[in-house]
């Protein structure tokens, strides 16, 4: 599974493989948001849809070094995730997460990108649910 | 081993390997290697490039096995080596046959053996089964497979544009279109479809198969409008069904895509008839554990 997505610099994008939901989606999303992070503090989850109508759930997290937004796109039993990380964001309450809560919008910026920009970018994602190497029709064998 | 031994050259001996078998000759530069049940499926060009160890632009020949499976052959002739590579595709795996020799006088025999192993050695899948068939997919549409053999094609901007085409595997039964339509509408009702109106069956002109279509209008369980167009193509041996789901806002445009796909369907065929007693005996051996 691939997600075509551009995030504003200097945010970093990590995309994940196709997953079939066999576990708790919320737990999986939280785990992603906290992955390898120092002192992560999660905000609440929120649901949205991309411009093409794909539903996704996202959660923000504040870490010792910056902020993150983890998102999980859904299509039936398929799941695809992305993690966008922003280093150097302050822990100012205006940035987003403090005391375990996430503000609905961020007024702060980190080196030219804001969490609001990232959230906006997530809604432009175009998931391609095909698994790596999958062949879906005979014509694809003889291209 | 029993089946493969039918193709064993007189001057070679059979050698089982962990992933298939090989025909080994006294000349160490001459060998035929067969790799069985390789996964995942890959394109023929990618398979040949990997087998040769380098990308190649040598054209390969697309063909059908005796059982109607899709296959390809690629010949290699250099000053140092002569060979033929063959790939035969099953539903979810493929067989690769690689034959080579440095003896130019043996090149023809080796190539003939590779060709036979690729096109004649049974894959044990059963000729008369539900299976994929060749067609031209809609350009720019994304796809997913369900249950292995059903492929769904999603129009651009899906799901806000709720348009998709479902290609079902070919059935080994020559099913009357009326029965196919009845069965599909029955299955749609399981999915919550409530029919409001229908049109057809109507005959469709298709280049290689007979065809009929029906159009259904209704709603799904959530009340969303449902427009379903079914095309059933058939010949004396098989039935092919493709289905368009849309919301009725661009009916002509998407029906054109459906009809283009239906026109491109290539019937599942065979390269040779199996009328001879020898062929019948070979088929009897299919039931012997190999």
pLDDT digits (tens, 9 = 90+) for A26-53: 888 888 888 888 788 999 889 999 999 9
What pLDDT is stored for residue A88 in this prediction?
Answer: 64
From B42, B43, B159, residue closest to A54, measured CB to CB: B159
Taking CB atoms and an 8 Å cutoff, what residues of chain B touch A142? 43-44, 62, 70, 72
Check CB contact of A141 with chain B, cutoff 8 Å: yes
Average pLDDT of chain B is 88
What pLDDT is stored for residue A92 in this prediction?
Answer: 37
What pLDDT is stored for residue A22 in this prediction?
Answer: 57
Is the model more confident about B42 or about B274?
B42
Residue B214: partners with Cβ closer than 8 Å, 6 or more residues away: B181, B198, B199, B200, B201, B202, B229, B230
Check CB contact of B43 with chain A, cutoff 8 Å: yes
The nearest alpha carbon in chain B to A74 belongs to B159
Check CB contact of B160 with chain A, cutoff 8 Å: yes
Distance CA A96, CA A117 (A): 12
Q: What burial letters (b/e) apply to B97-128, b meaning 16+ CB within 10 Å?
A: bbbbbbeeebbeebbebbbebbbbbbbeeebe
Share of chain A above pLDDT 90, in %: 18
Quote the minimal CA–CA distance from B28 to chain A in Å: 33
Average pLDDT over residues B140-159: 91
Quote the minimal CA–CA distance from B135 to chain A in Å: 7
Is the model more confident about B237 or about B110?
B110
By mean pLDDT, which of A31-40, A122-131, B238-247, B274-283 is the weakest? Answer: B274-283
Quote the minimal CA–CA distance from B129 to chain A in Å: 16
pLDDT category at B276 given cuts 50, 70, 90 is very low
Share of chain A above pLDDT 70, in %: 75
Q: Residue B224 CB: number of other CB atoms within 10 A?
A: 10
**Interchain CB distance below 8 Å, A133 and B42:** yes
What pLDDT is stored for residue B34 in this prediction?
Answer: 97
The length of chain B in residues reads 290
Average pLDDT over residues B137-144: 94
Average pLDDT over residues A79-100: 57
Q: Is-contact B151 A137, C-beta < 8 A?
A: yes
* Per-residue pLDDT at B284 exceeds 50: no
Distance CA A15, CA B287 (A): 48
**Interchain CB distance below 8 Å, B44 and A139:** no
Residue B233's DSSP bridge partners are B211, B240
By mean pLDDT, which of A60-69, B151-160, B161-170 is the weakest? Answer: A60-69
Average pLDDT over residues B179-203: 92
Q: Among B67-81, B179-193, B245-259, which range has the highest average pLDDT?
A: B245-259
Mutate to test the interface with B, among A18, A124, A137 (most CBs of B within 10 A): A137
The nearest alpha carbon in chain B to A143 belongs to B43
By mean pLDDT, which of A44-53, B66-75, B277-286 is the weakest? Answer: B277-286
* Per-residue pLDDT at A61 exceeds 70: yes
Nearest-Å Rg of the Cα atoms of chain B is 23
Check CB contact of A137 with chain B, cutoff 8 Å: yes
Q: Is-contact A61 A97, C-beta < 8 A?
A: yes
Taking CB atoms and an 8 Å cutoff, what residues of chain A touch B155? none
Taking CB atoms and an 8 Å cutoff, what residues of chain B touch A139? 134-137
Is the model more confident about A135 or about A97?
A135
**Interchain CB distance below 8 Å, A142 and B159:** no
Distance CA B67, CA B128 (A): 9
> Global pTM?
0.82
From A54, A137, A143, residue closest to B151, measured CB to CB: A137
Taking CB atoms and an 8 Å cutoff, what residues of chain A touch B72? 142
Q: A140 vs A133, B134, B154, CA distance in Å? A: 11, 10, 16
Q: Is-contact B63 B72, C-beta < 8 A?
A: yes
Is the model more confident about B55 or about A105?
B55
What pLDDT is stored for residue A17 in this prediction?
Answer: 56
* Per-residue pLDDT at A6 exceeds 80: no
From B143, B157, B158, residue closest to A130, measured CB to CB: B143
**Interchain CB distance below 8 Å, A134 and B40:** yes
From B43, B144, B157, residue closest to A143, measured CB to CB: B43
The nearest alpha carbon in chain A to B42 belongs to A141
Q: What burial letters (b/e) apply to B237-253, b meaning 16+ CB within 10 Å?
A: bbbbbbbbbbeeeeeee
What pLDDT is stored for residue B1 in this prediction?
Answer: 61
Taking CB atoms and an 8 Å cutoff, what residues of chain A touch B145? 134, 136
**Interchain CB distance below 8 Å, B72 and A54:** no
* Per-residue pLDDT at A55 exceeds 70: yes
3-class secondary-structure state, position A24: coil
* Per-residue pLDDT at A3 exceeds 90: no
From B45, B142, B159, residue closest to A130, measured CB to CB: B142
What pLDDT is stored for residue A112 in this prediction?
Answer: 55
pLDDT category at A86 given cuts 50, 70, 90 is confident
Share of chain B above pLDDT 90, in %: 72
Q: Is-contact B69 B122, C-beta < 8 A?
A: no
By mean pLDDT, which of A11-25, B147-161, B167-181, B241-255 is the weakest? Answer: A11-25
């Amino acid at each position: 599974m691939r997600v075509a997505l551009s995030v504003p610099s200097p945010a970093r994008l990590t995309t994940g493989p196709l997953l079939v939901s066999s576990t708790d989606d919320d737990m999986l999303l939280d785990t992603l948001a906290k992955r390898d992070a120092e002192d992560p503090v999660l905000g609440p989850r929120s649901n949205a849809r991309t411009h093409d109508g794909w539903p996704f759930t996202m959660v923000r997290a504040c870490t010792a070094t910056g902020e993150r937004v983890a998102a999980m796109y859904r299509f039936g039993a398929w799941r695809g995730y992305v993690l966008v990380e922003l280093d150097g964001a302050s822990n100012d309450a205006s940035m987003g997460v403090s005391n375990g809560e996430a503000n609905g919008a961020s007024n702060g910026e980190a080196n030219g990108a804001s969490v609001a920009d990232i959230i906006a970018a997530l809604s432009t994602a175009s998931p391609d649910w095909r698994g790596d190497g999958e062949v879906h029709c005979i014509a694809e064998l003889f291209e | 081993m029993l089946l493969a031994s039918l193709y064993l050259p007189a001057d070679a001996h059979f050698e089982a390997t962990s992933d298939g078998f090989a025909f080994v000759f006294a000349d160490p530069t001459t060998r035929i290697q067969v790799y069985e049940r390789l996964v995942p499926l890959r394109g023929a060009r990618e398979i040949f490039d990997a087998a040769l160890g380098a990308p190649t632009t040598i054209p390969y020949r697309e063909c059908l096995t005796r059982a109607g499976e899709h296959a390809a052959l690629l010949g290699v002739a250099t000053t140092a080596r002569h060979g033929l590579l063959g790939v035969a595709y099953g539903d979810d795996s493929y067989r690769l046959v690689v034959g080579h020799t440095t003896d130019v006088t043996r090149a023809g025999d080796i190539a003939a053996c590779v060709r036979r192993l690729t096109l004649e050695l049974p894959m044990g899948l059963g000729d008369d089964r539900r299976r994929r068939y060749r067609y031209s997919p809609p350009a720019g549409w994304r796809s997913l497979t369900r249950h292995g053999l059903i492929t769904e094609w999603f129009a651009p901007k899906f799901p806000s544009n709720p348009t998709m085409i479902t290609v079902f595997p070919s059935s080994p039964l020559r099913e009357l279109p009326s029965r196919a339509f009845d069965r599909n509408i029955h299955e749609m009702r399981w999915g919550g479809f409530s029919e409001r109106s229908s049109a057809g069956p109507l005959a469709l002109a298709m280049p290689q198969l007979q065809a009929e279509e029906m159009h259904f209008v209704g709603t799904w369980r959530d009340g969303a409008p449902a427009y379903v167009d079914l095309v059933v193509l058939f010949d004396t041996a098989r039935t092919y069904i493709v289905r368009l789901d849309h919301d009725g806002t661009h009916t002509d445009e998407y029906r054109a895509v459906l009809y283009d796909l239906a026109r491109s369907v290539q019937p599942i065929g065979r390269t040779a008839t199996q009328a001879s007693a020898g062929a019948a005996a070979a088929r009897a051996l299919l039931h012997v554990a190999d």
